[in-house]
Structure 1
Amino acid sequence: MRDVLKGIKVVDLTQIGAGPTCTMLLGDFGAEVVKVEPLSGDIGRALGPPWYSDQSPIHIGFNRGKKSIAVDLKQEEGAALVRRLADQADILVESFRPGTLDKFGLGPAQLEQDHPGLIYCSVSGYGQTGPFAFHPGVDGIMQAASGLMGLIGTAESGPMKVQAPIVDVFTGYVAALGCMTALIERSKTGKGRHIDASLFGSAVALQQSAVTAYLGDPVQPAKLGSAAPYSAPNEAYPTADGWIMIAAYMVKHWPRFCSVIGRPDLTDDIRFANSADRVVNRLELFAQVAAAMKTRTTDEWLPLLEAQDILCSRVAGYEDVIAHEQTQFSRLIATMEHSSLGSLKTPGNPVNARQMNAAPFAPPPLLGEHTRSILADLGLDAGSIDDLLKRAIVSADAGR
């Protein structure tokens, strides 16, 4: 599948997380991705600590397999170069505020006039139209605005967020899906499409079941920590040395679970007669189960639970995740060889992961690493390229 988009050219005018995730995925499937960066580089290059050697994990994690050209869009000659790149592209992905690229002749309506087959994908905070279209947004802001932050934590905790930029990444997948769908449509109609992917919309979609529940019964969900609002037991319990997440709410699993933890009497307790009763009396149930779970270590409990087909997992740290047998078997961690950092590892592509990640990917580019070769492909000779470099229209400097 790594060559399914071979021959497709992508111009990437995005920064930080969501847009770069989209274009990285397109590159994983074989598209040629040209990352157009300002002379100072994608903002994501400077985000840290922590650092991956001397570079940001934001840049390393979201930009494998791309080529980089550094261009000053604010100068007309720089904008003209990017318009030439767009003329040769199948897909352009951008993450500016709506209307910003119109100033440089790179708006969707402007490019469509000369390139009606171009798929133009805009990634933004709230979308391209509507009352909040011009409001900026990043992952944490969207976790708050979408209600996601309101689900996380406990009644005693303050607002909490998912530390991994989950909204950025999911929006990148949404945008990539839109681009792929538009490619299929174009193969039938010959026409491009403007894809509008917003962090806000994606964050709301992440909460499909929770928002659906609210629409059916408009009560703000309680902050339940690791518990599920619709079933019990379905949360993390403390052990003698850690935590185990347990989902034993199904009819056949509940009595088995009670037997394993040495509390078969819980099945006769009217408060816990069925899953709905256990949800209502979750705090009482938690106290009973937690007391039993604390009598053994995580490693002692896991085989006992698994022997009875109880759904469970240790609450893992990244050391556990990287060493996990399934991580290793499925090749969920991809490798790359970087010119200055040597061997790099990041999460790979999750689609058919064992096959997709079997061979190393091309590394994320240094800033302006491919400026000269990209301009040469546009037909510029060495003298013209040197002149652009001298006048700081473009940059070929490598590094963070």
Structure 2
Amino acid sequence: MSDAAAGPLDGLLVADFSRILAGPYATMLLADLGAEVVKVEGPRGDDTRSWVPPVHDGVSTYFLGINRNKRSVALDFADETDAALARELARRADIVIENFRPGGLAKYGLDYDSVAAANPRVLYASISGFGSGEQGRTLPGYDLIVQAISGLMSLTGPADGEPYRAGISVFDVMAGMHATIGLLAALHRREETGRGQHVEVNLLSSALSGMVNHTSAYVAAGVVPYRMGNSHPSLFPYEPLPCSDGELVVTAGNDQQFGKLVDVLGVPELADDPRFAKNPDRTARRDELRPLLVERLSTRTTMEWFRDITAAGIACGPINTVDQGVAFAEGIGLDPVVDVGPSGASVRSVRNPITLSETPPTYRLPPPALDEHGAEIRRWLGEEPSV
């Protein structure tokens, strides 16, 4: 069935029973790396097909952004014929990914235990909001809910304002990446043992892991982080600072970098000032140091300072809109956009961020219409599998 170019995961079959974001993002990463992904949708399709605006040619750009390189088949698990086809797909698959509520697939014979009984080599990934434990399994999980419960929102927004959600579904994406990492680790283990295993990822655990220094502050030191706007709790400067025409994010990750920064700004004496010579001192006295830096930065434009500060080897950057971010990536030669599909009917998509020197990601199929490959897949599942 595959028309995949050779990739590092070429020859692997993925049965994708996931919906919305975390699971589909994971399966798109696998598909880009050469896996054959069959996206199984309910009769009404993946929820994100209806999450509009914006749209491209009448199709949700949300859906388009996470479903390339897949084939779609619509199956109604409540229909025994369709459920049997889904079970056959899972039996043949190397990888199964699902994000139903824990236990929700058992009545269809599509839970891990049922699938593994028929397919002992299967790598089966379950993504949930709060895990499969007795209490967590009853809680529906959406990224926004996990942003609230995990504590992320308490860290996001103005220091004297309300908590904010992150501008993207950060924990859905993170959980998708964690699931991918877990599956690749399990795949390596299967090469040694011949046995599959169950990979479980939940959004809350991904969140607590992904908040790294903030959760570590509490777990290791009993310090509860608090909302600081754009400031960093352990570094200064490491935030937007105003120039004559806008704000520039300015960073100094260590004392040497701070010395280079103030030299470019024309105030080299600040590096020897005992109030600011060491990072802990700069962080503690940020309210004293900030106006001294702003006084210099406000004399020139954002892009003038960007040019000179980066030339000195110090990281900084303008606060761009998304279109400007894409343009910036294009300007430095990253080629962030790819066209997926035949000429004249292609869809522009964001390039897979992984670069492999020998087996790079490929872009073979545009995001599918609902049940676009249904007849082909049903016919294939009805055939005797080749040995």
Alignment pair present for 1:228 and 2:211: no
Task: Check if 1:345 corresponds to 2:351.
Answer: no
Conserved 8 A contact 2:34-2:361 = no
Q: Tell me which residue corresponds to 2:242.
A: 238
Q: Which residue of 2 aligns with 1:20?
A: 24
Q: Which residue of 1 aligns with 2:381?
A: 378
1:295 aligns with 2:307: no
Displacement of 1:215 after TM fit?
Answer: 2.1
Aligned counterparts, 1:255-294, within 5 A: 255-267=259-271, 269-294=273-298
Note the alpha carbon deviations across 1:86-142, whole angstroms, 9 max, x for none: 111111100100011001111111111111111111011011224222201111111
What is the distance in 2 between the residues matched to 1:354 and 1:52?
A: 32
- After the TM superposition, which segments of 4 or more aligned residues of structure 1 sit over 6 Å from their partners? 353-358
CA contact (8 A) 1:333 1:346 kept: yes
Q: Per the alignment, do residues 143 and 28 of structure 1 end up closer, same or farther by CA in structure 2, a change over 3 Å counting?
A: same
Give how far 1:231 is off: 1.2
How far residue 326 of structure 1 moved from its aligned partner, in angstroms, is 5.8
Q: Amino acid of the residue matched to residue 262 of structure 1?
A: G
- Cα deviation for residue 369 of structure 1 reads 0.1
Other-structure match for 1:149: 153
Number of aligned pairs? Answer: 380
Q: Could you tell me which residue of structure 2 aligns to residue 140 of structure 1?
A: 144
Residue 296 of structure 1 aligns with an amino acid whose one-letter code is R
- Does the C-alpha gap of structure 1 residues 212 and 44 become closer, same or farther in structure 2, counting only changes over 3 Å? same
Alpha-carbon distance in structure 1 between the residues aligned to 2:112 and 2:356 = 34
Partner of 2:64: 60
User: SS where residue 271 of structure 1 aligns?
Assistant: coil
Q: Give 1:268 shift.
A: 5.0
Q: Shift in Å at residue 376 of structure 1? A: 0.9
Distance 1:3 1:376, change over 3 A: same
Structure 1 residue corresponding to 2:41, chosen from 31, 37, 41: 37
Task: Give 3-state SS (helix, strand or coil) of 2:8's partner.
Answer: coil
Give 1:366's aligned amino acid. Answer: A
C-alpha distance in structure 1 between counterparts of 2:196 and 2:119, whole Å: 8
Say which of 69, 81, 85 aligns to 1:77: 81
Tell me, in whole angstroms, the C-alpha distance in 1 between the residues paired with 2:338 and 2:131: 32
Shift of 1:240: 1.7
Asked whether 1:122 is paired with 2:122, we answer no
- Cα deviation, 1:361-389, whole Å, max 9, x if unaligned, reads 411110000000001112369xxxxxxxx
Asked if the contact 1:332/1:353 (under 8 Å) is kept, the reply is no
Partner of 1:272, secondary structure, is: coil
Structure 2 unaligned segments of length 5 or more: list them.
none
Letter in structure 1 aligned against 2:366: P
Check conservation: 2:255, 2:277, Cα contact below 8 A.
no
- Aligned alpha-carbon RMSD (Å): 2.2
Corresponding residue of 2:326: 322
> Which stretch has the larger CA shift, 278-287 or 88-97?
278-287
Q: Which amino acid aligns with 1:106?
A: L
Secondary structure of the structure 2 residue equivalent to 1:92? strand
Provide the identity percentage: 36
The one-letter code of the counterpart of 2:217 is A
Say if 1:19 and 1:144 are closer, same or farther in 2 by CA, change over 3 A: same
- Residue 216 (1) aligns with residue 235 (2): no
Q: Is the 8 A contact 1:348 1:357 kept in 2?
A: no
Q: Distance in 1 between matches of 2:142 and 2:94?
A: 27
Deviations 1:266-317 (A, max 9, x none): 3454432321111112233223322321221111111221232222112222
Provide the TM-score with structure 2 as the length reference.
Answer: 0.92
Distance 2:329 2:277 in 1: 37
CA distance in 1, matches of 2:283, 2:59: 46
Instruction: Choose 67-76 or 121-130, whichever is displaced more.
Output: 121-130
Gaps of 5+ in 1: 382-400
Q: Is the 8 A contact 1:99 1:107 kept in 2?
A: yes
The change in CA–CA distance for 1:315 and 1:355 in structure 2 (over 3 A counts) is farther
Q: Distance in 2 between matches of 1:243 and 1:357?
A: 37
Superposed displacement of residue 195, structure 1:
0.6
Q: 1:18 to 1:338 in 2, by over 3 A?
A: farther
Classify 1:43/1:350 alpha carbon distance in 2 versus 1 (closer, same or farther; 3 Å). same
Q: 1:26 to 1:230 in 2, by over 3 A?
A: same
Alignment-mate amino acid for residue 225 of structure 2: P
Secondary structure of the corresponding residue to residue 331 of structure 1: coil
Query: Quick check: 1:176 aligned with 2:180?
Result: yes
Q: Quick check: 2:7–2:361 contact (8 Å CA) kept in 1?
A: no
Secondary structure in structure 2 of the residue aligned to 1:127: coil
Partners of 1:334 and 1:361 within 8 A in 2: no
The match for 1:201 is: 205
Counterpart in the other structure of 1:89: 93
Report the alpha carbon displacement of residue 83 of structure 1 after superposing the two structures with TM: 0.5
Q: Bigger shift: 358-367 or 26-35?
A: 358-367
